[in-house]
Amino acid sequence: MKLSIIVPVYNAEKYLRVCLDSLTAQTVDDYEILLINDGSSDSSPEIMEDYRRRYPDLIRTLTVENGGQGRARNIAMDLARGEYLGFVDSDDWVDPAMFEKLLAAAEESGADMAQCDAVECWADGHTRYADMTGCRDEILIPTAVWNKLIRRSAAEGVRFAERLWYEDIAFVIKLLLRVDKIANVREGLYFYRCGQSSTMNNHNARKNLDIIRIMEELREPLAAAGRTADFETLLINHLLLDTINRVAVQDSPDKGQVCAELRAYAKKYIPRLLRCPSFQKESRNRRIVLFLNYHGLEGLSRLLLQAKKTAAQ
Task: Please check whether residues 78 and 124 belong to one and the same domain.
Answer: yes
Q: How far apart are the C-alpha atoms of 52 and 32, rounded to whole Å? A: 11
Task: Please check whether residues 94 and 207 belong to one and the same domain.
Answer: no
Q: Is 30 helix (H, G, I), strand (E, B) or coil?
A: coil
Q: Which pLDDT score, from 0 to 100, does residue 203 have?
A: 74
Q: Is 136 helix (H, G, I), strand (E, B) or coil?
A: coil
Write down which residue in 154, 169, 199 finishes a domain: 199
Task: Please check whether residues 256 and 162 belong to one and the same domain.
Answer: no
Residue 269, Cβ density class (10 Å: 0-12 exposed, 13-18 middle, ≥19 buried) = middle
Per-residue pLDDT tens over the stretch 184-214: 999 999 999 998 655 445 579 999 999 999 9
Whole domain around residue 166: which residue ranges?
Answer: 3-199
Write down which residue in 141, 164, 199 finishes a domain: 199
Write down which residue in 166, 199, 232 finishes a domain: 199
List the end-to-end C-alpha distance of the chain, in Å, as a whole number: 48
Could you tell me the pTM of the whole model?
0.93
- Write down how long the chain is: 313
Q: How far apart are the C-alpha atoms of 90 and 69, rounded to whole Å? A: 11
Task: Please check whether residues 35 and 164 belong to one and the same domain.
Answer: yes
Task: Please check whether residues 282 and 149 belong to one and the same domain.
Answer: no
Candidates 276, 306, 312; CA nearest to 291 is: 276
The number of folded domains in the chain is 2
Task: Please check whether residues 17 and 160 belong to one and the same domain.
Answer: yes
Task: Please check whether residues 58 and 171 belong to one and the same domain.
Answer: yes
Per-residue pLDDT tens over the stretch 248-279: 999 999 999 999 999 999 999 999 999 999 99
Query: Which residue stretches of the chain have pLDDT < 50?
Result: 199-200
Per DSSP, 239 falls in state I
Task: Please check whether residues 266 and 299 belong to one and the same domain.
Answer: yes
Q: Which pLDDT score, from 0 to 100, does residue 199 have?
A: 46
Task: Please check whether residues 178 and 288 belong to one and the same domain.
Answer: no
Task: Please check whether residues 128 and 254 belong to one and the same domain.
Answer: no
CATH number for the domain that contains residue 97: 3.90.550.10
Task: Please check whether residues 118 and 241 belong to one and the same domain.
Answer: no
Q: Which pLDDT score, from 0 to 100, does residue 79 have?
A: 98
Q: Which pLDDT score, from 0 to 100, does residue 312 have?
A: 61
Q: Which pLDDT score, from 0 to 100, does residue 306 have?
A: 76
Task: Please check whether residues 240 and 159 belong to one and the same domain.
Answer: no
Alpha carbon dihedral 242, 260, 209, 117, in 10-degree steps, equals: 0
